[in-house]
Structure 1
Amino acid sequence: MASWVRGRCIGRGSFGTVSLGFDRRTGEVFAVKSVDTGSCLPHQIESLENEIRILRSLPPSPHLVAYLGDDVTHHEGLAKTTSRNLHMEYVSGGTAAESAARRGGKFSEVDEAIVRSQAQCVVSALQHLHSGGIVHCDVKGRNILVGQDPRLAKLADFGSAIRIGESGARVAPRGSPLWMAPEVIRGECQGSPSDVWSLGCAVVEMVTGRPPWEDHGVDTLTRIGYSSEMPEHPAQLSKLGRDFLEKCLRRDPEARWSCDQLLQHPFLQKDAVADSSPRCVLDWVSSEFEDDEEEEDEVGASSNSVAEEDEADARARIGKLSSSRGANWESEGWTMVRGNRECDPEEEEGAGAGAGTSSQYRETSGAEWGNGSGIGEYSNFSGRLLATEAQCSSINSSSVVEEEEGGGGGGYLAVGETEMGFYSLRGVVVLLLHHYCHCLLRMLSRNILLLLCYFTFSLALFFLFEIDR
């Protein structure tokens, strides 16, 4: 009696069916590829035996579907059957082709990141195979299984795989025609460069959800093997991704990159960035800054720590400026930037205490006094405050009294994007009148044609009434 129970069918291919298996002893769930030895064609059982032989010989790899064992089972009943079974790791996420089809042609930056990660897994799997003298021969979206984490993928289905030397071998074409390399279609050779071509076709399929070529039978095979045409690179793929495809899809097998080279391509690097604009200044890195960083690495770890501190300080200051509370105008530490030479610094010290902003205005040198505008400027590194000439002597509690007596002190506070200014009542009235006059003139200038039409129409009506009389 078998130690496992067959479950539902989860896949069906040209060489057999794949079902879920349940181990009675351990409770483990796995995948079972089976071929009915009594009704199958000879090449089908040969394919399964070849896959069992290949998987047995392979060292374990996180990017290949794991081999768990094989056996033969007999089914008693009306029709006695015998099945040859291959036990494999169960990967629950489906295939890369199914994932691409579910997107329905939509492809975003997130999808590209997933495809990039899946491609990195497949290239690593092919490198593992090629280093052992094995060619997969059937790399395509349906043979790339996706885990629960869509970024992780495993290469499966080794029924067409062959073991050859580094120079390749002349063999009958194996695999799926729409993913075959030109030299395979021509029957010349099938080696590791052929897998790289199929990999490029699989990436096209993972992006578009469609095979790399339209299936028109013999005409398509002729185009692949004997023309100069190439699979179309998806427009929705980034420039970096299209460059990766260009390294895979080269008609000359010797010109294609090897898997070792492809693993060094920026498209497969975990820190690869999309071809988009930086979202903030700290995200942008230029070649000049990269050169500076290389020089700092040669100096030592101390310079790196200084750079990290500078970056942290910059982030902290930018964070304060971008907070929802805005600038703190009431904080300590206001410094005189430019002063009014008609203002008395001694009066400003007393005025600052009464105004409530700061009681410690620090005097600057005489060369810095006088900005030619009658305005004293102060800064506390979180904003700028401008005080009018009247405010230089009236920013204290007595300014309220002076305003009531018509002295012109005190006034109103005007706030802008980069500065704050105190204005007298008279100044506010003038500013308001100027603003409304400006708005009126703009309105009149925009509607002058309408006014002319209205005026002409009124004159016409007037003359018509006069004629009637």
Structure 2
Amino acid sequence: MEKQSSSWIRGSCIGRGCFGTVSKAVSKIDGGVFAVKSVDLATCLPSQSESLENEIAILRSLRAHPHIVRFLGDDMSNERTTSFRNLHLEYLPEGDVATNVGKIVEEETLRRYVWCLVSALGHVHANGVVHCDVKSKNVLVANGGTSVKLADFGSAMELEKPTVEISPRGSPLWMAPEVVRGEYQGPESDVWSLGCTVIEMLTGKPAWEDHGFDSLSRIGFSNELPFIPAGVSELCRDFLDRCLRRDRSQRWSCDQLLEHPFLLCQEDHHSFVITESSPRCVLDWVNSEFEEEEEFDESRVESMVSAMARISKLATTTGETIWESNGWTEVRGNVSEESGAQWEYPSSTRAESELNTSPESTDDSGTRTVNEDWELTSVITCEILLVVLLLVVENIQIYATFYTSVFIRILFHFKSNEIE
């Protein structure tokens, strides 16, 4: 290792590309190991310097996220006769997914990786940024292979709505059709690249074969879609279908993708079960109790008719009602003990006979007048409505028609008394 004039020491080179170099580094302060992405200010191309400055600015603006490589700072260093512009990043020794792709043999592992990647992209998009270069090379393995982190924001840009043609950013074989055509680059474009990356994770090679201009023509101007390998589950195939729509308006957002069953079952593939037991509205019920009539229960009808007979008896008597237990056990008034003993009506025939009984016209010698009769009618009507409502709620289809007719007959009975 060579000594630096700064607070850290540069170690061995662990990566090299068109952007510059990536090296291991050790802090002089606490001995912590991290990664340093650098460009030689004297020899680098303007595009390399601009890319590094762009990445520094983007990472500084983003809030920390568990599935995005952590930004640790930036500086300039003088090493012998060379000056470097440096970006300090979290060090992940297990490398990128592209070099580990042959180890992804289980769909469960693929689910975990894709969930991490979609979560990271959703965070990026929510913060007004488009990554623009999603591919396996820019996805780093973390935590012993149990998760991944999104890296390399050199091509990223702040989210805008361009009204003119754009300069495409990223790697051609992962670009969305609209990006290849120079029309648009936004979150939807990242979702297309995500789909291509998932295929790359499955096959170990890009979703499109590299045939130069012919490949770009197929991506941008044909109706073709990347080939989804055989053997993947239906959930995975459907997930890829949501990503790889040539019409960007039909692609799912990252928030929607996180709710896709392929990712919802990434911990337990049995956890996502569609049931019909919780309808969203009344029309969702398939076997509703209101679609078919229940079997006619004669005993229930008789007990309800008995209750109606008691109400009709109130129309011909006055006095105090005593409530006991769950029903009416006795009504005392200006009636004989014999009639009081006949209070229970076990059959519909006896109930109808009571309903057809007309009250006698009386005068001031202890009997009711027409006005008193109608006052009692109002009370009885309210009680009838209450009982009918309870009965209808309990069994709306079987009994509604019957009790409506009974109610009309009682009202007609009292109306006839008033006319007389």
TM-score range, shorter chain: 0.5 to 0.7
Residue 321 of structure 1: aligned partner: none
Please say if residues 10 and 18 of structure 1, whose CA atoms lie closer than 8 Å, have aligned partners that are also in contact: yes
Task: Decide which of 272, 277, 290 is 1:291's aligned counterpart.
Answer: 277
Q: Could you tell me which runs of 5 or more consecutive residues in structure 1 were left unpaired when the two chains were aligned.
A: 275-282, 295-469
1:125-173 per-residue CA deviation (whole Å, 9 max, x = no partner) reads: 1111111110000000000001133231110000000002367874200
Matched residues in 2 for 1:149 and 1:166: separation? 39
Displacement after TM superposition at 1:188 (Å) = 0.2
Displacement after TM superposition at 1:2 (Å) = 1.2
Residue 213 of structure 1: aligned partner: 208
**Larger relative contact order (Cα-Cα within 8 Å, sequence gap ≥ 6):** 2
Matched residues in 1 for 2:27 and 2:273: separation? 57
Matched residues in 2 for 1:24 and 1:90: separation? 16
Displacement after TM superposition at 1:226 (Å) = 0.2
Question: Structure 2 vs 1, CA of residues 167 and 246 (structure 1 numbering), >3 Å: closer, same or farther?
Answer: farther
Describe how 1:54-453 pairs up with structure 2 within 5 A: 54-76=58-80, 80-100=81-101, 102-103=102-103, 108=105, 111-165=106-160, 170-270=165-265, 291=277
Please say if residues 266 and 272 of structure 1, whose CA atoms lie closer than 8 Å, have aligned partners that are also in contact: no
Displacement after TM superposition at 1:92 (Å) = 2.0
Matched residues in 1 for 2:237 and 2:111: separation? 12
Counterpart amino acid of 1:27? G
Counterpart amino acid of 1:31? A
Compute the TM-score of the two structures, normalised by the length of structure 1.
0.56
Residue 382 of structure 1: aligned partner: none
Please say if residues 121 and 152 of structure 1, whose CA atoms lie closer than 8 Å, have aligned partners that are also in contact: yes
Please say if residues 223 and 229 of structure 1, whose CA atoms lie closer than 8 Å, have aligned partners that are also in contact: yes
Please say if residues 248 and 256 of structure 1, whose CA atoms lie closer than 8 Å, have aligned partners that are also in contact: yes
Please say if residues 160 and 174 of structure 1, whose CA atoms lie closer than 8 Å, have aligned partners that are also in contact: yes
Question: Structure 2 vs 1, CA of residues 10 and 271 (structure 1 numbering), >3 Å: closer, same or farther?
Answer: closer
Counterpart amino acid of 1:47? S
Question: Structure 2 vs 1, CA of residues 284 and 41 (structure 1 numbering), >3 Å: closer, same or farther?
Answer: closer
Question: Structure 2 vs 1, CA of residues 261 and 176 (structure 1 numbering), >3 Å: closer, same or farther?
Answer: same
Counterpart amino acid of 1:263? L
Q: Could you tell me which runs of 5 or more consecutive residues in structure 2 were left unpaired when the two chains were aligned.
A: 281-420
Displacement after TM superposition at 1:94 (Å) = 1.1
User: What percentage of aligned pairs have identical amino acids?
Assistant: 55
Counterpart amino acid of 2:242? K
Counting matched residue pairs gives 276
Task: Decide which of 46, 50, 53 is 1:46's aligned counterpart.
Answer: 50
1:380-419 per-residue CA deviation (whole Å, 9 max, x = no partner) reads: xxxxxxxxxxxxxxxxxxxxxxxxxxxxxxxxxxxxxxxx
Question: Structure 2 vs 1, CA of residues 169 and 266 (structure 1 numbering), >3 Å: closer, same or farther?
Answer: farther
1:236-255 per-residue CA deviation (whole Å, 9 max, x = no partner) reads: 32111011000000000000
Counterpart amino acid of 1:145? L
Matched residues in 1 for 2:63 and 2:164: separation? 23
Please say if residues 96 and 145 of structure 1, whose CA atoms lie closer than 8 Å, have aligned partners that are also in contact: yes
Displacement after TM superposition at 1:284 (Å) = 11
Q: Secondary structure at the match of 2:124?
A: helix
Counterpart amino acid of 2:121? L
CA RMSD of aligned residues (A): 2.3
Matched residues in 1 for 2:125 and 2:198: separation? 19
Residue 432 of structure 1: aligned partner: none
